[in-house]
Amino acid sequence: MRRMILMLTVVAMVAVGGGLASAQDATMMAMQAAQQANDMAMQAAQTANQMAMQAAQQATQDAMQVDSRMSMAVQLPVTPRPVIVKLKGGVSVVLYDADPKAIVFYTTDGSLPTFQSQRYAGPIVVSAKVRVRAMAFDLAEMPSGVVSKTIRVKL
């Protein structure tokens, strides 16, 4: 009888010990699976971060290209400024412009010339002190700056 109890005890201990080993194996496997899942999640996050950075860099490059195209489109050449010359007789003023396609507008009252101002077609006759202001316009270019000259007529 003692022998039987001893044998049952040994069998029970082996069974419990085997159960502990199985539980430890299961725990170890679960920890390994969790580590693998964590590693995969980290790799996926790194890949997503790299992709987001590449997309942001591409968007920045695209925006810079659009900006440079827009600035090139806006940067038209400027029409040369006209030149105001008083003729020797002192009663005529001539406007010269280096751009043959440009239209020159002028004023003799000191105001800024616009498209509604007098269009230059030939010498301007003056009879007193006047301030002539002129500006050249070419449809393919930006308007010139305003030039100004005060003309004094000696009588």
Phi/psi at 147 (5° precision): -110, 150
Residue 4 predicted with pLDDT over 70? no
pLDDT tens for residues 85-105?
988 777 888 888 888 889 999
Q: What percentage of residues in the chain have a pLDDT greater than 70? A: 73
Which 8-state DSSP code applies to residue 81? Answer: P
What one-character-per-residue DSSP string does 112-146 give?
A: PP-TTSEEP-SPEE-SS-EEEEEEEE-TTSBPPPP
Residue 52 binned pLDDT confidence (cut-offs 50, 70, 90): low
Token readout for 8 is 């049952």
Q: Is the pTM of this model over 0.85?
A: no
User: Where is pLDDT greater, at 139 or 22?
Assistant: 139
7-45: b (≥16 Cβ within 10 Å) or e: eeeeeeeeeeeeeeeeeeeeeeeeeeeeeeeeeeeeeee
- Tell me the three state secondary structure of residue 84: strand
Q: What is the per-residue pLDDT for 112? A: 93
